[in-house]
Amino acid sequence: MRLLAHRFRLRGDLWRNRDFMWLWAAQTVSQVGSQISSLAIPLVAILTLDASTFQVSVLVVVGWAPFFLFSLPAGAWIDRLPRRPILVASDWGRALALASIPLAYFLDAMTLAQLYVVELVVGLFTVFFDLSYQSYLPSVVEREELGEGNAKLEVSRSAAQVAGPGLAGVLIRVLTAPYAILADAVSFVASALFLSRIERPEPKPKTAAERSTRLRDEIGEGLRFVLRHPLLRPIVIFVGVSNIFVNMLFAIYLVYAVRELDLSAATIGLIFSLGNIGTLVGALTATRLARTVGIGPGLITATIGSLGLLLIPLARGDVVIPFLVVASLLWGYFVLTYYVNAITLIQAITPDHLLGRTNASRRFLVQGVIPFGALLGGALGTTLGLRPAIAIGAVGACLAVLPLFFSPLRQIKETSQAEELVRPYNESFSVRSTEV
């Protein structure tokens, strides 16, 4: 692990990019805070408000619903506006929403309905933040530095996933879950302040006079670009199907861990922290894997990690903690490896003026299905039982990888090769869009 970190620290030029370092600092601090809330909010529902399995799954639904409802118009708006102010405003909005939970708990006025509203509001601001964030990175670094930038950002996310759940478990035990959420609110304030320090100017978006299409037409343009794209289409199909089954599983995972496996908040946090070491290793080695086997074969190889999910419904007796930790290790490693290389590929093959709408369309298609997966998980967990429902989610996630095996990604070794492959499509699409 030290050798990996040493190699990562010495390589790359972005350490000298002051604006990227502010972006990286903002992302790091908010990721640590978010790990606390991702554990604390469901535990508030489970332990403090005695929510049912289905009610806990609804928390996931409302948190992800904005990706289905607002991603497409948000992406078009983001392509029309400067992106850094959107990032800052989104951080402040999430901070205020989360701070309402400990305040309500202090006033003895907290309800399940409030948790739903907070999740919805935080989800809405997250839509705008995430779409702006992935579209903003190419404005802060050079195109050839995208792989390094994405890898560094994902190292922070992964490190937060390692440290965050353990910290969350301790804070929840010491402060109680509602007060632990305050740490996430503070992290978003810090993120907003860091982002405000970035000085590099963004490319100016087109003015209203320069745009030849209406908002609705721009949304349609982004969807058509993704759905007809020879490389984006199989990626979207894989991730979308995977998200349905994975979120069937994780929507009820904490209920399963607390009520069927009888694990405490501290133990769950420790399991997540140990397992998430895999995400850190994946972020550190993702670009190396892409260089070794090629970016396309690397994406396909990464999908093997879904097999680790099969250990979760098999966890019983003395192997509960080892199985859950190994499952998280395998899943985290391969998911982060896939994510870093997939985002780098998408950013490299997407024209700058379509980045916002492409990210919005992709997220609408792959994350818009998450609420339906969560609802299905809650329904199956209630009717069939928690363990059978989790088993169905794990098996479905393993089968979701098939579209990648039958796509052109198998032959893509480098991003330059991918850019050459899709250039005729990008050029012909631009012509068709102009004619429309």
**Among the ranges given (13-17, 85-89, 196-200, 211-215), the one the predictor scored with the smallest mean pLDDT:** 211-215
Task: Output 143 or 33, whichever has higher pLDDT.
Answer: 33
Task: Output 14 or 162, whichever has higher pLDDT.
Answer: 14
Distance CA 296, CA 85 (A): 34
Task: Output 293 or 275, whichever has higher pLDDT.
Answer: 293
CA distances from 182 to 124, 175, 413 (A): 19, 10, 45
Taking residue 297's Cβ as centre, other Cβ atoms within 10 Å add up to 17
Pair of tokens at residue 272? 């997540």
Distance CA 327, CA 299 (A): 19
pLDDT reported for residue 379 = 92
**Inter-axis angle of helices 146-175 and 277-293, nearest 10:** 170
Q: Is the distance from CB of 65 to CB of 123 less than 8 angstroms? A: yes
Residues 6+ apart with CB under 8 A from 382: 52, 53, 54
Pair of tokens at residue 243? 């998200």
The structural domains of the chain, ordered by start, are: 11-200+212-435 (1.20.1250.20)
**Among the ranges given (75-89, 90-104, 183-197, 233-247), the one the predictor scored with the smallest mean pLDDT:** 75-89
Pair of tokens at residue 113? 């309905």
**Among the ranges given (155-164, 176-185, 408-417), the one the predictor scored with the smallest mean pLDDT:** 155-164
Task: Output 122 or 5, whichever has higher pLDDT.
Answer: 122
Q: pLDDT of 124-145, one tens digit each?
A: 998 888 878 767 777 787 767 7
**Alpha helix segments (H runs only) across 350-385:** 355-367, 370-383
Question: Mean pLDDT over all residues of the chain?
Answer: 81
Output b/e per residue, 314-332; b: 16+ Cβ within 10 A: ebeeeebeebbbbbbbbbb
Q: Is the pLDDT of residue 210 over 70?
A: no
pLDDT reported for residue 431 = 44
pLDDT reported for residue 15 = 79
Report which DSSP code applies to 256.
I
Give 248-265 as a 3 state SS string.
HHHCCHHHHHHHHCCCCH
Distance CA 350, CA 395 (A): 33
* Amino acid present at 156: S
* CA–CA–CA angle 156, 161, 166 (5° rounding): 130
pLDDT reported for residue 162 = 67
436 pLDDT band, cuts 50/70/90, is very low
pLDDT reported for residue 158 = 66
Task: Output 294 or 359, whichever has higher pLDDT.
Answer: 294
Distance CA 425, CA 263 (A): 52
Distance CA 183, CA 193 (A): 16
Q: pLDDT of 372-423, one tens digit each?
A: 888 899 899 999 999 999 999 999 998 888 888 888 888 888 877 777 777 7
Task: Output 289 or 429, whichever has higher pLDDT.
Answer: 289
12 pLDDT band, cuts 50/70/90, is low
Q: pLDDT of 216-253, one tens digit each?
A: 777 777 788 888 888 888 899 999 999 999 989 988 99
pLDDT reported for residue 205 = 58
pLDDT reported for residue 272 = 80
pLDDT reported for residue 203 = 66
pLDDT reported for residue 1 = 41
Q: Is the pLDDT of residue 9 over 50?
A: no
Q: pLDDT of 305-360, one tens digit each?
A: 788 899 999 999 889 999 999 998 888 888 878 887 888 888 788 877 777 777 77
Q: pLDDT of 256-265, one tens digit each?
A: 998 899 988 7
Which of 432, 355, 277 lies closest to 75, judged by CA?
355
What average pLDDT score do residues 284-291 get? Answer: 79
Residues 6+ apart with CB under 8 A from 185: 33, 94, 95, 96, 98, 99
215 pLDDT band, cuts 50/70/90, is low
